[in-house]
Chain A
Amino acid sequence: MTLLLGLPSKGRLMEKSFDWFGKAGLRFEREGSNREYAFQTNGLRGVQPVLLSAGEIPRELAAGRIHLGVTGSDMVRERIPDWPSTVEDVTGMGFGRADLVLAVPGCWIDVDSLDDLDAVAASFRAKHGFRLRIATKYHRLVREFLRDFGVANYQLMDSQGATEGVVKNGTAECVADITSTGETLRANHLKVLSDGLIHSSQATLFRSRTADWTTAKSVLEVLAARLGLPV
């Protein structure tokens, strides 16, 4: 009777996750001399925390190797194909908020919306002979967002860090990046499109649909009651 709970293994996301569960009277403590964490049970037996990097939690949830997991809602959407078929969004946790947005150079005074971007992408390709480059690490989210609107004639450039600098360096024309205040984007002379919000992300508790719930279900019910969640 064990419910495996995937939690971010470091940084603010870890601390805030601990706090969040702590408010429901669930506490984590190191067990013995090793680096493992365990719940202080408070009558709640059977919950086993599994500390993982936030980026690995979507994969573990989709594979059913953990029952519950805390990670950014952007991570799940980016990393799991057709995510609602394998994981369920249990609740937003109110922290780790960040927006994935599409931004263009501030000097593009003729561009404010996706409609503009689409028109500019077409003429950019005709003029420069290659498709307008958008730097991002969120390939799936950006591609689906642009496909839904109907923007064509662009290409995604993989950028795993310092994405906001690529336009200045001449390696891309636009960026799709995570921001909480937009300050870094502005400092790099970029502006967010008025309809360029791709996803509003926050730390979220997800439930795996593929995990074996036969014995974990009763643990989930107790946990959900403690957390005031409708599961």
Chain B
Amino acid sequence: MQDRTRVRAEAERLTALFEETGAVPFRTSILQPAETLLDLYGEDIRARAYVTRDPSAGEMMLRPDFTAPLVQAHLAGRGGITRYTYVGEVFRMQDGGGSGRPIEYLQVGLELFPTDDPAAAEAEVFATISRALQGLNLRAAMGDIGLLQAAVSGLSTSPARRAALLRHLWRPRRFRALLERFSGRTDTLEHRVKLLKKLETASVSDVMAEAAPMIGIRSGAEIENRITALKQDAQTPPISPEEVALIDDLLAIQAAPADALERLRDLAVDMPAIEPAVACVSARFAALDALDIDVSAALFEGSYGRTSLEYYDGFVFGFYAENRPDLSPVATGGRYDALTRALGQEVAAVGGVIRPALVLEVQG
């Protein structure tokens, strides 16, 4: 059990560092409306956040992070402010049980909403956090979800299939299952083949009437629309093995940043759709270099951040204590334009958080 006073003092040290960059303090309530967070993260967040109920305000959550309320406040504000810092408790239910991970901890954050050069802002957030953690001997890991997003958007297949894959960027297993089916590596679903066969000679309404009476609010028209989509999908040729192999190559990258960039450039020859995303990676590395941040010891991973960082759709990073694999990352962050889009207005957004208790833990 760590001394709360020491953790608080470390949080203040980090806050001071962030404020030195010109960041404006942001404050928000511990109790947040659950609706926004449920809409963003879906039912899964109930396994990670404490939900309670107010008789008039409805379901509330103990703040699982600052990002969503900060983005809302930023979008509602009159503008002008482009950088924020915050410090406060966040709460994470450990539904798995027995993990021993804390359910309440302090977080210190830095969030930038750059109006011009996003690569510079990405580099600045990484650099500021990296400097704040200097001397702790942490390993940095990084990736870029924008690469996978671009690769999928460039697949030569139907828009519906691309959309289905994009929807599951952050759910690797489901993404893989869809990719396998769309590329013909797994069989088409048997019931679907049967249904479409039946509909060659019968109308949708007849098949529905034969099945069961209409109940629920999903209408007959919605069912008809889906059947039209299924028919179109059945006509869609499989994604080629070559294209799948390129996605696999991209996800398999694990190298020092400079080497990773070389491989990305090679991949972009066969996958021109990722060229702009590769240019972003390159610009980011140049911006880090301009800030005198040496990332040669960091690991760039093609699939980094896919499981834990929903709505992070560009640069993603984390700082880990290599000799303490039991600990969560000491700091994490990245680019989350997708979150601002989901909250009403897409703007460039990049940020990161440090957990002061883990800084002390690693210091020993």
Are B223 and A154 within 8 A (Cβ)? no
Are A107 and B189 within 8 A (Cβ)? no
Give the residue among A81, A146, A149 with the most B Cβ atoms within 10 A: A81
Residues of chain B within 8 A (CB-CB) of A150 are 168, 171, 173-175, 177
Are B226 and A85 within 8 A (Cβ)? no
Are B98 and A109 within 8 A (Cβ)? no
| Cα(A214)–Cα(B282), bound, Å | 64
Q: Check if A11 is an interface residue, CB within 8 A of chain B.
A: no
Are A122 and B167 within 8 A (Cβ)? yes
Contact among A85, A113, A168 with B191 in the assembled complex (CB-CB below 8 Å): A113
Are B43 and A146 within 8 A (Cβ)? yes
Contact among A110, A115, A152 with B167 in the assembled complex (CB-CB below 8 Å): A152
Known contacts A107-B215, A143-B44, A150-B173, A112 near B164 by CB under 8 Å: no
Majority secondary structure of chain B interface residues (helix, strand, loop or mixed): helix
Are B191 and A170 within 8 A (Cβ)? no
Residues of chain A within 8 A (CB-CB) of B159 are none
Are A124 and B192 within 8 A (Cβ)? no
Are A152 and B207 within 8 A (Cβ)? no
| Cα(A28)–Cα(B43), bound, Å | 45
| Cα(A148)–Cα(B96), bound, Å | 14
Q: Check if A128 is an interface residue, CB within 8 A of chain B.
A: yes
Are B226 and A120 within 8 A (Cβ)? yes
Binary interface profile of A, 107-132, with partner B (CB < 8 Å = 1, else 0)? Answer: 11110110110111011100110010
Residues of chain A within 8 A (CB-CB) of B171 are 150, 152
Known contacts A81-B96, A122-B167, A143-B46, A113 near B212 by CB under 8 Å: no
Residues of chain B within 8 A (CB-CB) of A167 are 215-216
Q: Check if A57 is an interface residue, CB within 8 A of chain B.
A: no
Are A110 and B42 within 8 A (Cβ)? no
Known contacts A119-B164, A152-B171, A147 near B44 by CB under 8 Å: yes
Q: Check if B213 is an interface residue, CB within 8 A of chain A.
A: yes
Q: Check if B195 is an interface residue, CB within 8 A of chain A.
A: yes
Q: Which residue of B lies closest to A134 (CB)?
A: B43
Q: Check if A67 is an interface residue, CB within 8 A of chain B.
A: no
Contact among A85, A105, A106, A112 with B97 in the assembled complex (CB-CB below 8 Å): A85
Q: Check if B222 is an interface residue, CB within 8 A of chain A.
A: yes
Q: Which residues in chain B, 192-231, are within 8 Å of chain A measured between CB atoms?
A: 192, 195, 204, 207-208, 211-218, 220, 222-223, 225-227, 230
Residues of chain B within 8 A (CB-CB) of A105 are 212, 214-216, 218
| Cα(A2)–Cα(B318), bound, Å | 52
Are B174 and A168 within 8 A (Cβ)? no
What's the tally of chain A residues with a CB closer than 8 Å to chain B? 45
Known contacts A152-B171, A154-B42, A124 near B207 by CB under 8 Å: no
| Cα(A150)–Cα(B208), bound, Å | 28
| Cα(A128)–Cα(B218), bound, Å | 9
Are B38 and A123 within 8 A (Cβ)? no
Residues of chain B within 8 A (CB-CB) of A127 are 222
Residues of chain A within 8 A (CB-CB) of B225 are 123
Q: Which residue of B lies closest to A125 (CB)?
A: B39
Residues of chain A within 8 A (CB-CB) of B44 are 143, 147, 152
Residues of chain B within 8 A (CB-CB) of A86 are 97-98
Binary interface profile of A, 11-50, with partner B (CB < 8 Å = 1, else 0)? Answer: 0000000000000000000000000000000000000000
Are B230 and A170 within 8 A (Cβ)? no
Q: Check if B294 is an interface residue, CB within 8 A of chain A.
A: no
Residues of chain A within 8 A (CB-CB) of B218 are 105, 108, 120, 124, 173
Binary interface profile of A, 124-165, with partner B (CB < 8 Å = 1, else 0)? Answer: 100110010000000110011011111011111000000000
Told that A154-B42, A167-B216 touch, could you supply 6 new A-B pairs with CB distance under 8 A? A81-B97, A82-B98, A107-B208, A109-B208, A119-B164, A155-B38
Name 24 interchain pairs, CB-CB below 8 A, sorted by A. A80-B97, A81-B96, A82-B97, A105-B216, A107-B215, A107-B223, A108-B218, A109-B195, A109-B204, A110-B227, A110-B230, A112-B195, A113-B189, A118-B174, A120-B226, A123-B222, A131-B38, A131-B43, A139-B46, A144-B47, A147-B47, A150-B168, A150-B177, A152-B42
